[in-house]
Structure 1
Amino acid sequence: MKQIITAKLKLTTTPEQFAALRQTQLVYRDALNAVSLYAFEHGKTSSVTTLHKGMYTELRTRYHLPSQLACSVERQVAATYKGLWTKCKKNSAHRLAKITKKRFKGLDQPPHYSSPTVQYTYERDYTFQCDSRVSLGTLNGRISLPYQGYDKHLALIREGATIGDAKLWYDRQKKQLYLLVSLTIGLPDPTPAQLARVVGVDVGIRYLAVTSTSTGKASFHPGKRTRHQANHYARLRKRLQQKGTRGAKRRLRRIEQRERRLKQQANHCIAQQIIMQHPHALIGLENLTDIRERTKRKKRKRKKSGKGTEPVSPQARKANRVYSQWSFAEVHNLISYKAALAGSLTIKVDADYTSKACPMCGHTADENRPRKGLRFVCQNKRCGYTLHADLIGARNITLRTLLIRQDWIRTGCLSTIPDAADKEAKAARLQRYAELRWSSVVTTSLRSQTGDR
């Protein structure tokens, strides 16, 4: 098993070296925008070959980029257009399925690159030297720079890790250049016997994460404080944008990264706590692809006496903004890579009905969540099970993860991500999930199967 991590190296530069690297960054950004405009004018192509034939000579003569940096520009633009075409096709499928009515507008104009980050290729644009120095390519040739970084990352660079591409990134507030190096670490493949514990993780807005083990042990990670501070920055940013003065723009530049760093720190702490609480575990996460489209508040239809639709209320607009900025993917990525380094493993399970299905009797209905609140009440008259809704979701994820672990033991093959394209296979999986039950008898058997105490 291989795990990719990023080493952040702080570069120590002289004024001349700093100016050379900044010039390289700005020219690289201009070249990206030029190639992006060319691709847009030639059918919004995502073909690297087409871009290379049409723009390589201009990148070399007009922008004076080295050959490898010119090729990196073409590959980066092609990847951007390929991603936009993928989103466009998804949007078309969602419009046909009436999931959304909005048309994807990402290809109406050529993508504009504002970040001056440079993509370097290892052993072509940059190489590591002795005495903690790195050689970087610029417009006027190579320069050698000393660097500093995290001790463990420096040890991996010197021995053991496979070094990949790097990015030259400029921190505008600190006025400091950093080299972000991709490192691939080889890890032993875990076995079912090594991953004796089974844990389910449910992520959300009011509670950023709720975990449940197979024995019922739960932990809650609330997000009220983080959400409150993020809403404060959103209101402040809105007021400053409406004001539009030079002082307001300076203030915007000072606070532009605070909300992102706030959420990143909260997600990092949550992921670290989950990994430390559940060592050597098989951790189940929800496959939340296209979750924003499914949770978006839509316009309500008018009553029979009226025509058209009612506008979205301010509360719904606020909810849509919060959901659109929901960083569940970052939480999942942090948990995944931290788990791999700690000897655990994460897998994705289907997210369908995890918070609407009763784990005790299997009854599934929207009415099990009264007013879509945090209280789960099973509407089956013979059951009537009541519990925290997010904990219900975590328990259902735990049961599905346990089922995958049992299939892993029986077949020797582990599927880390469910195939959402095959509808028949997904229906069969959901049918198997509907047969799972959470009870004291099952919990006792789970202890013997997983070894969780």
Structure 2
Amino acid sequence: MQQIITAKLKLIPTPEQFQALRQAQLAYRDALNAVSCYAFEHGKTSSVKTLHRGMYADLRASYHLPSQLACRVVRQVAATYKGLWTKLKKNAEHRRAKITKKRFKGLDKPPHYSSPTVQYTYERDYTFQRDSRVSVGTLNGRISIPYQGYDKHIALIRQGASIGDAKLCYDMRKKTFYFLVALDIDVPEPSIEHLGEVVGVDVGIRYLAVTSTSTGNATFHPGKRVRHRANHYARLRKRLQQKGTRGAKRRLRRIERRERRFKLQANHSIAKQIVKQHPHTLIGLEHLTDIREGTKRRKHRRKKNGKSFEAVSLKVRKANRVYSQWSFAELQALISYKAILLGSLAIKVDADYTSKACPVCGHTTGKNRPRKGLLFVCQQCHYTLHADLIGARNVTLRTLLVRHDWSRTGCLSIIPDASDREAKAARLQRYAELRWSPEASQRLIARGH
């Protein structure tokens, strides 16, 4: 089984090499913006052939890019426009279904590239050499630069790991170049016999992650500290944006990077704890595609009880901002790749009604969560429990069902097919028949062996 990891290498260039790398970065960024404007003027095309035919000669003559980097620029812009067209079509579907009223504006103007990150292709634009050196292409040919990095990553490179594309990044604060290399490593493919436990993971705002095993053991990972820090950064950004000076804009960029590092570290820590606490486990995650559109709150009209429209609008904006900063996709991605490296496996199950369905009697309604609080109270059997733990247990039940199907058919579904509505309705019907019982869960796992 193949798993891709990223090796971060610190480059140690001479002053001349530093200048050559910087010139290549800026020329690459300017070329991206030129091709982006050309694509916008020619019908917002995402055709690689059209962009290559119209811009390749200009990229070579005006920006002095090597042939491989010029081709890479064209492919990167085409991929950007293809992604924007996909988002536009999905937005049109959501508007027809009245999921959202907001129009997608990503294609109203040409996409602008501000990051000077250069993408390289292995054995075409860069190669590794002896004595911890890497040969990198620039505007004036190849240069050989020594590098440093994590010992395990360097050992993988020297031992002949499958090497993929790389990115050349520049840290303006440290004035340092970093080389991010994709390494494709072989890991043992987990089988159903080695995955002796099942764990469900529910992600959220107040608790970044809540886990539940098939026996009922639960773990809570609170997000209060992360949420308060994010609110602090939001208030600080608002003040700096109102100020609008050059110094304020520089401070804004520093704050954005600091907040990004803080959230990434928090997600790394939580993912590592979950994976290490549950070795050789089948981990169930919620399939949360388009979750922001479903959870986004709308503005309300003026209340009759005397509340002003401004107060309600401020509350809605704050709630939407919190949801927009919810980094659940990053946390799930970290759990997935860390699980494979430690002998576990992460799959995704449907997230529909995981916080509304009672795992004991199956009664499903939004009234089971009074005022959408942290307490779950079933309106039929009066089963009471922490709402996020209810979600984790429902994910555990659905993961158990997937494991049972795996043992019965020999085929494992990593991600549920959300495009087939009839198949999804059949899955939801099967989920509605599940009931929480730690003893029955263990018997189901035993039958899976």
TM-score, normalised relative to structure 1:
0.96
How far the C-alpha of 1:440 sits from its partner, in A, is 5.0
How far the C-alpha of 1:217 sits from its partner, in A, is 0.4
* Correspondence for 1:197: 197
The one-letter code sitting in structure 2 at the alignment partner of 1:50 is T
Q: Distance in 1 between matches of 2:55 and 2:39?
A: 10
* Correspondence for 1:426: 424
* Correspondence for 1:239: 239
* Correspondence for 1:56: 56
Q: Distance in 2 between matches of 1:444 and 1:351?
A: 23
Are the aligned partners of 1:214 and 1:446 in contact in 2 as well (CA < 8 Å)? no
Are the aligned partners of 2:198 and 2:282 in contact in 1 as well (CA < 8 Å)? yes
* Correspondence for 1:293: 293
* Correspondence for 1:374: 374
Which secondary structure state, in structure 1, belongs to the residue aligned with residue 152 of structure 2?
A: helix
Q: Distance in 1 between matches of 2:438 and 2:279?
A: 24
How far the C-alpha of 1:312 sits from its partner, in A, is 5.2
Are the aligned partners of 2:209 and 2:222 in contact in 1 as well (CA < 8 Å)? yes
Q: Distance in 2 between matches of 1:118 and 1:246?
A: 26
Are the aligned partners of 1:94 and 1:100 in contact in 2 as well (CA < 8 Å)? yes
Cα 1:447–1:93, aligned 2, differ >3 Å: closer, same or farther? closer
Cα 1:385–1:38, aligned 2, differ >3 Å: closer, same or farther? same
Which secondary structure state, in structure 1, belongs to the residue aligned with residue 436 of structure 2?
A: coil
How far the C-alpha of 1:301 sits from its partner, in A, is 4.5
The one-letter code sitting in structure 2 at the alignment partner of 1:35 is V
Superposed CA deviations along residues 249-301 of structure 1, whole A, max 9, x for unmatched, are: 33323323111111111100000000010001000000000000000010224
How far the C-alpha of 1:187 sits from its partner, in A, is 1.8
Cα 1:444–1:74, aligned 2, differ >3 Å: closer, same or farther? closer
| Counterpart pick for 1:436 among 428, 434, 440 | 434
Are the aligned partners of 2:357 and 2:363 in contact in 1 as well (CA < 8 Å)? yes
**What RMSD over aligned residues (CA atoms) do the two structures have, in Å?**
1.6
Are the aligned partners of 2:216 and 2:438 in contact in 1 as well (CA < 8 Å)? no
Cα 1:440–1:190, aligned 2, differ >3 Å: closer, same or farther? closer
Q: Distance in 2 between matches of 1:160 and 1:285?
A: 33
Superposed CA deviations along residues 381-413 of structure 1, whole A, max 9, x for unmatched, are: xx1100000000000000000100010011111
Q: Distance in 2 between matches of 1:147 and 1:189?
A: 32
* Correspondence for 1:108: 108
Q: Distance in 1 between matches of 2:25 and 2:245?
A: 29
Q: Distance in 1 between matches of 2:26 and 2:164?
A: 23
Are the aligned partners of 1:202 and 1:285 in contact in 2 as well (CA < 8 Å)? yes
Q: Distance in 2 between matches of 1:315 and 1:301?
A: 13
* Correspondence for 1:3: 3
Is 1:141 aligned to 2:145, yes or no?
no
Q: Distance in 2 between matches of 1:286 and 1:364?
A: 18
Are the aligned partners of 2:377 and 2:385 in contact in 1 as well (CA < 8 Å)? yes
* Correspondence for 1:386: 384
Superposed CA deviations along residues 405-430 of structure 1, whole A, max 9, x for unmatched, are: 01001111101000000000000000
Residue correspondence of structure 1 range 36-435 to structure 2 within 5 A: 36-301=36-301, 313-380=313-380, 383-435=381-433
How far the C-alpha of 1:445 sits from its partner, in A, is 2.5
Superposed CA deviations along residues 199-218 of structure 1, whole A, max 9, x for unmatched, are: 00000000000000000000
What count of residue pairs does the alignment treat as equivalent? 446
Q: Distance in 2 between matches of 1:43 and 1:254?
A: 37
The one-letter code sitting in structure 2 at the alignment partner of 1:43 is G
Which secondary structure state, in structure 1, belongs to the residue aligned with residue 321 of structure 2?
A: helix
Q: Distance in 2 between matches of 1:344 and 1:393?
A: 21
The one-letter code sitting in structure 1 at the alignment partner of 2:13 is T
Q: Distance in 1 between matches of 2:53 and 2:352?
A: 47
Q: Distance in 2 between matches of 1:109 and 1:283?
A: 42
Q: Distance in 2 between matches of 1:310 and 1:244?
A: 25
Q: Is there any run of 5+ residues in structure 2 with no aligned partner, and where?
A: none
Which secondary structure state, in structure 1, belongs to the residue aligned with residue 221 of structure 2?
A: strand
Which secondary structure state, in structure 1, belongs to the residue aligned with residue 101 of structure 2?
A: coil
The one-letter code sitting in structure 1 at the alignment partner of 2:283 is I
Q: Distance in 1 between matches of 2:368 and 2:120?
A: 53
The one-letter code sitting in structure 2 at the alignment partner of 1:30 is D
Which secondary structure state, in structure 2, belongs to the residue aligned with residue 256 of structure 1?
A: helix
Q: Distance in 2 between matches of 1:248 and 1:310?
A: 28
The one-letter code sitting in structure 2 at the alignment partner of 1:226 is V
Are the aligned partners of 2:404 and 2:444 in contact in 1 as well (CA < 8 Å)? no
Superposed CA deviations along residues 24-47 of structure 1, whole A, max 9, x for unmatched, are: 000000000000000000110001
Are the aligned partners of 1:299 and 1:310 in contact in 2 as well (CA < 8 Å)? no
Are the aligned partners of 1:126 and 1:137 in contact in 2 as well (CA < 8 Å)? yes
Q: Percent identity?
A: 78
Which secondary structure state, in structure 2, belongs to the residue aligned with residue 415 of structure 1?
A: coil
Q: Distance in 2 between matches of 1:209 and 1:342?
A: 19
Cα 1:386–1:43, aligned 2, differ >3 Å: closer, same or farther? same
Q: Distance in 2 between matches of 1:61 and 1:247?
A: 37
Q: Distance in 2 between matches of 1:375 and 1:261?
A: 32
The one-letter code sitting in structure 1 at the alignment partner of 2:109 is Q
Is 1:19 aligned to 2:19, yes or no?
yes
Higher mean C-alpha displacement, 145-154 vs 184-193: 184-193
Residue correspondence of structure 1 range 441-452 to structure 2 within 5 A: 441-446=439-444, 448-449=446-447
Cα 1:398–1:191, aligned 2, differ >3 Å: closer, same or farther? same
Are the aligned partners of 2:135 and 2:144 in contact in 1 as well (CA < 8 Å)? yes
Are the aligned partners of 1:349 and 1:401 in contact in 2 as well (CA < 8 Å)? yes
Q: Distance in 1 between matches of 2:447 and 2:224?
A: 37
Q: Distance in 1 between matches of 2:359 and 2:253?
A: 48
The one-letter code sitting in structure 1 at the alignment partner of 2:34 is A
Are the aligned partners of 1:376 and 1:386 in contact in 2 as well (CA < 8 Å)? yes
Q: Distance in 2 between matches of 1:359 and 1:415?
A: 22
The one-letter code sitting in structure 2 at the alignment partner of 1:437 is R
Higher mean C-alpha displacement, 251-260 vs 214-223: 251-260
TM-score, normalised relative to structure 2:
0.97
How far the C-alpha of 1:444 sits from its partner, in A, is 5.0
Cα 1:112–1:225, aligned 2, differ >3 Å: closer, same or farther? same
How far the C-alpha of 1:220 sits from its partner, in A, is 0.1
